[in-house]
Chains A and B, each alone.
Chain A
């Protein structure tokens, strides 16, 4: 079959099928991308403070606390960049969705057991205020955007005339 030139752009074929879903798709990419980059900023600057925030969640074993505090901010930064430039979208949206599910679990778990800790989501400050239902719903909204992006990416159909098995 004759391939169209666009088929050689690996990522072009991921774009959704019409202009409206297209706008939605790109908006979702940018929203999550900006949120991730913004969230990573403070944590990259102050790793020790972020480790303290991770410690306060009292979920991870001790040996994983610093490692998480060192890697997670960079993961958020990379995800943000990848989402915005549209690189490695399948992997990026999969991790993004996973992260929001994990955050949701950690936040609700600690809320349910009444642990009065700060979120550490966008700042490493221990004084930013306790985790509450607003924190969880904010995560829920971002999870919804990420899930949309996940399905939009994984259910995207090839462009007409593109043979994706090549």
Chain B
């Protein structure tokens, strides 16, 4: 039997850090050049603190949300990313993706009349974005912020008005 190639471990030993280094350099350089770059070391402590803060009375039942919607007494804010928002959202909802909330907030702040109820939502029972966004907005000084759990799904299931990419539902 021919001898095993011992040098293969040596090759792995230099290739392993080399590949990681290449990926690191390209990743950081590309991030530096793109317009929507993120800081290499982000400050997540604020979010951690906010997400940990337990808020009473944050969750709003669908029936109540629907009532506020038909009375035009609430502003809906979509916490999902832009793609999800564009492919369909609650009619009249504003888009404020949670991951970019700090940066994008000033853009939509003017569209929220003071004193209005704000209802945040995302999609899926596992989605925490709307909760975190609600806490974020409370932190920004809005007192009446509620979270519609699994909002996009329950809203559609109840056949409530939505706006979709190519059509507007009745």
User: Interface of A with B (CB < 8 Å)?
Assistant: 13-14, 44, 46-49, 51-52, 55-56, 62-63, 65-67, 69-75, 77-79, 82, 88, 90-92, 94-95, 116-118, 124-130, 153-158, 160, 164-165
A48 touches B12 (CB 8 A): no
| Interface of A, helix, strand, loop or mixed by DSSP | helix
B8 touches A153 (CB 8 A): yes
A94 touches B16 (CB 8 A): yes
A75 touches B20 (CB 8 A): yes
B19 touches A63 (CB 8 A): no
Q: Interface digits, B55-90 against A, CB 8 Å rule (1 contact, 0 not)?
A: 000000000000000000000000011011000000
Q: How far is the CA of A160 from the CA of B97 in the complex (A)?
A: 59
Q: How far is the CA of A47 from the CA of B6 in the complex (A)?
A: 40
A71 touches B24 (CB 8 A): yes
B126 touches A70 (CB 8 A): no
B5 touches A157 (CB 8 A): yes
User: B4 — which chain A residues lie within 8 A by C-beta?
Assistant: 155, 157
A13-B5, A78-B22 provided; 11 other pairs, C-beta below 8 A? A52-B98, A65-B42, A75-B20, A82-B19, A88-B18, A90-B11, A90-B15, A95-B16, A116-B125, A124-B81, A126-B122
User: Interface of B with A (CB < 8 Å)?
Assistant: 1-9, 11-12, 14-16, 18-20, 22-24, 26-28, 30-31, 36-45, 47-48, 80-81, 83-84, 97-100, 122-129, 152
Of all chain A residues, the one with the shortest Cβ separation from B122 is A127
User: A118 — which chain B residues lie within 8 A by C-beta?
Assistant: 124, 126-127
Partner of A94, one of B7, B12, B80, B122: B12
Of all chain B residues, the one with the shortest Cβ separation from A128 is B124
B41 touches A92 (CB 8 A): no
B22 touches A62 (CB 8 A): no
A95 touches B19 (CB 8 A): yes
Assuming the contacts A90-B8, A155-B4, asked whether A47 and B31 have C-beta atoms less than 8 A apart, the reply is: yes
A51 touches B12 (CB 8 A): no
User: B41 — which chain A residues lie within 8 A by C-beta?
Assistant: 63, 66-67
A56 touches B38 (CB 8 A): no
Q: How far is the CA of A9 from the CA of B138 in the complex (A)?
A: 63
User: Count the A-B residue pairs with Cβ separation under 8 angstroms: how many?
Assistant: 149
Q: How far is the CA of A158 from the CA of B124 in the complex (A)?
A: 53
User: B47 — which chain A residues lie within 8 A by C-beta?
Assistant: 55
Q: How far is the CA of A32 from the CA of B5 in the complex (A)?
A: 24
B126 touches A129 (CB 8 A): yes
B129 touches A126 (CB 8 A): yes
A127 touches B125 (CB 8 A): no
Of all chain A residues, the one with the shortest Cβ separation from B45 is A62
A65 touches B44 (CB 8 A): yes
Shortest distance in angstroms between A61's beta carbon and chain B's nearest beta carbon? 9
Of all chain A residues, the one with the shortest Cβ separation from B20 is A75
Q: Please, could you name 21 A-B residue pairs with CB atoms under 8 Å apart, sorted by A? A: A44-B30, A51-B99, A65-B44, A70-B38, A71-B28, A72-B23, A74-B27, A78-B19, A88-B11, A91-B15, A95-B19, A118-B126, A126-B80, A126-B122, A126-B127, A127-B80, A128-B124, A130-B125, A154-B8, A156-B5, A165-B7
Partner of A125, one of B2, B6, B11, B84: B84
